[in-house]
């Protein structure tokens, strides 16, 4: 069974830069994993930030960017703001029609 | 505007069935693949199933394989999830979501509904 790994938690200072990562329990993430990233505040539906590795969804500020770093997908947030404090999830396509969510990263801005 | 509205959730006994619906508006439904994603109370998001834009391909997570069936009615702009043999582990908020790219699936999701709650309990 394929497991998608994310940091359980991360902290960033207001105005700072943070990079969250998304990996595979076995193997490397590539552009053919079509990584995507989602933001979720408690009690709300997810909001799409990035799809297909680095394409920003409509209305997403360019403070959010996606990339491949080494063998993982990465979401970089620059100029962190208080309302960036929430949960972040990645999704990877693992083949045979199947996509898998990571366990999520709880981001704290302090 | 682009919108997805789920319905059909509720309280159901273990072993019973439930059908969820997702009404799409504001875009050309037949051009996009569609997903179901769920979130158990206090847990992370879990991908459940996908159907291609034309309904010809359907894929499921192991958790729902053999019990869940995804389908679509493009004449009514509606996505469905038929869930059979429900267990307490299926208790979750169920979201429908649109593929981010027309005609192509697996690139990610870009539009989400607000979710419908399914509670499996005796």
Nearest by CB to A101, which of B45, B100, B111?
B45
| pLDDT of A1 | 82
Q: How far is A81 from chain B (nearest CA, A)?
A: 23
| Alpha carbon B16 to chain centroid, angstroms | 18
What gap in Å lies between CA A109 and CA B20, rounded to an integer? 37
pLDDT in tens, B29-45: 999 999 999 999 999 99
Nearest by CB to A51, which of B46, B47, B107?
B107
Size of interface A-B (CB pairs under 8 A): 76
| pLDDT of A68 | 98
Selected residue of B43, B51, B106 to mutate for chain A interface (largest A Cβ count, 10 A) = B106
| pLDDT of A50 | 98
- Mean predicted confidence (pLDDT) in A3-13: 97
Residues of B within 8 A of A96 (CB-CB) are 59
Q: Which residues contact A64 (CB under 8 A, 6 or more apart)?
A: A37, A49, A50, A56, A75, A76, A77
Residues of A near B (CB-CB distance < 8 A)? Answer: 1, 34-36, 38, 40, 45-48, 50-52, 55, 57-58, 87, 89, 91, 93, 96-104
Nearest CA to A102 among A54, A46, A58, A57? A46
| B50–A99 C-beta distance less than 8 A | yes
Strands B18-25 and B78-83 turn out to be: antiparallel
| pLDDT of B42 | 96
| pLDDT of B105 | 85
Contact A31, A53 (CB under 8 A): yes
Q: Which residues contact A83 (CB under 8 A, 6 or more apart)?
A: none
- Mean predicted confidence (pLDDT) in A36-64: 97
Q: Does B37 touch chain A (CB under 8 A)?
A: yes
| pLDDT of B91 | 98
> B72 pLDDT exceeds 90?
yes
- Mean predicted confidence (pLDDT) in A21-29: 95
| pLDDT of A35 | 98
CA dihedral B82, B45, B4, A36 (to 10 degrees): -120
Mean pLDDT in chain B? Answer: 97
> B104 pLDDT exceeds 90?
no
Residues of B within 8 A of A103 (CB-CB) are 44
| B107–A48 C-beta distance less than 8 A | no
| pLDDT of B57 | 96
Residue that the structure tokens 């394989």 belong to: B65
| B46–A51 C-beta distance less than 8 A | no
> B102 pLDDT exceeds 90?
no
Ramachandran angles phi, psi of A14, nearest 5°: -55, 130
Nearest CA to B13 among B90, B93, B86? B86
- Mean predicted confidence (pLDDT) in A31-45: 97
Strands B116-120 and B92-101 turn out to be: antiparallel
Query: Exposed, middle or buried: residue B42 (CB in 10 Å: 0-12, 13-18, 19+)?
Result: exposed
Q: Which residues contact B6 (CB under 8 A, 6 or more apart)?
A: B20, B21, B22, B94, B95, B96, B113, B114, B115, B116
Least confident of A40-54, A70-84, B32-46, B92-106: B92-106
């Amino acid at each position: 069974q394929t497991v998608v790994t994310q940091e359980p938690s991360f902290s960033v200072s207001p105005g700072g830069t943070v990079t969250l990562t998304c990996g595979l329990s076995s193997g490397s993430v590539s552009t053919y994993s079509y990584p995507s990233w989602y933001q979720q505040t408690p009690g709300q539906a997810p909001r799409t930030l990035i799809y297909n590795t680095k394409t920003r969804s409509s209305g997403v500020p360019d403070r959010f960017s996606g990339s491949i770093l080494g063998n993982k997908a990465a979401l970089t947030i620059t100029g962190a703001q208080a309302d960036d404090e929430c949960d972040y999830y990645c999704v990877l396509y693992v083949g045979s029609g199947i996509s898998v969510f990571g366990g999520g990263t709880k981001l704290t801005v302090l | 505007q682009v919108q997805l509205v789920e319905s059909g959730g509720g309280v159901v006994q273990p072993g019973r069935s439930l059908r969820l619906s997702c009404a799409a508006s504001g875009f050309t439904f037949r051009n996009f693949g569609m997903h179901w994603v769920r979130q158990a109370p206090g847990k992370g998001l879990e991908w459940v199933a996908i159907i291609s834009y034309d309904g010809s391909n359907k894929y499921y997570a192991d958790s729902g394989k053999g019990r869940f069936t995804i389908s679509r009615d493009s004449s009514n702009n509606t996505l469905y999830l038929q869930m059979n043999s429900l267990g307490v582990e299926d208790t979750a908020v169920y979201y429908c979501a649109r593929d981010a790219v027309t005609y192509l699936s697996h690139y990610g999701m870009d539009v989400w509904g607000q979710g419908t709650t399914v509670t499996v309990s005796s």
